[in-house]
Every structure is written in structure tokens, then in C-alpha cells.
Structure 1
Amino acid sequence: MPRGEKSKYTDKQERKADHIAEGYEERGVSKKEAESRAWATVNKQDGGGKHPGGSGRKSAGASRTKAERSAAAKKGWATRRKNQKS
């Protein structure tokens, strides 16, 4: 996806960005800068585009296999046990 591509955003996110940009323009910010700030605000608030296939966030365990999650759990348990004895 090219930089600046907006196809992964929901209609609500686009309306929000338009509204924020209008506010900046009313305060004398250039149209291009207002739009840039508006999308930065939407990204900060919502974590980016929400449509399936976008670069949304996943939990750490979702991308690991069962064996990897199990190994990580065992390692954490051993570390906690070791630190408890000290």
C-alpha cells in the first residue's frame, strides 16, 4: 500500500479527519498541513485503518505457534521461580 493511501480507513474515520482538518483551516493552517495533522490525529486515536487486511495491531500471542507460546510460558515460569528464591 503506497504512503498516503486511505482505502483502509472506515467512513467514520474519514469524517473525523475531515472535521479535524476543517478546525485547523479555521485557525489559519494551510489546507495541506491541516489534512496532514488531521490524519495524524486519527491514527493516534484509532491506531490506523480498521478495514480487514490493514496494518492493525494484533496481540503478541496471536502470531506465535502453540509450541512457541508454551516455551515462552515455561521460560517465564522458570524466571519467576528463580527470582522468588533470591
Structure 2
Amino acid sequence: MPAGSNRKRERQYEHIKEQAEERGTSERRAKEIAARTVNKERARAGESKTASKVSTRDPKSAAQRGGERSHRGPQSPTRDQLYEEARRKNVEGRSNMNKEQLRKAVGR
């Protein structure tokens, strides 16, 4: 936890870290995520001595964004999910199709 933090930010850090670990994130990465999130919130609230322009001018807080900028892109359905959708739509030859072919066949 960064120096100069108050109890609220310490609780916030612990909560974010625990949630990340529950999702299967390593402890090291969970600590990093929590620290970055808390530091950004501190900067937005004027609780830190220095802050980047992005931290203070961003219209959405990290919590509101919900991972929009996580660089993972939109999560697409799995091949099995596409196969099940193709089965429900009675697509011919679905068992021999790969993920991209199934996506086209079901209209995604």
C-alpha cells in the first residue's frame, strides 16, 4: 500500500486485491492491479502529490470502466458455444467446422 494512504484506501486496496485473487490472478499481479487502481483513485480525489493527466482528466473512474482498457479485447464465444448455437439452428456440416466457420454459419 502506498505511503500516506488512509484507512479507506487501505480497505479499497485489500478488497480489489482479494477480488483479483478470487478470479485466479496471481498474488503479485493482484497487488499490482490493486495498487494502480487505488493510486488512480487517490489522484482523482486530490489525495496524492503528483498525478498524470490521464488520471485526473479521464471522465470514467477505474471502477466505472470495468476493465475496458485491459487490452484483452472483447471476449468472443468459444468454439463449443458456437457449435451449440449451430446445433440449435440445424447447421449442416457443423461437426467438421472450425471456430471461424461456425461463427460465419451462425451469423456472428
TM-score, with structure 1 as normaliser: 0.49
Higher relative contact order (CA 8 A, sep 6+): 1
**Structure showing the higher helix proportion among its residues:** 1
* TM-score using structure 2 length: 0.40
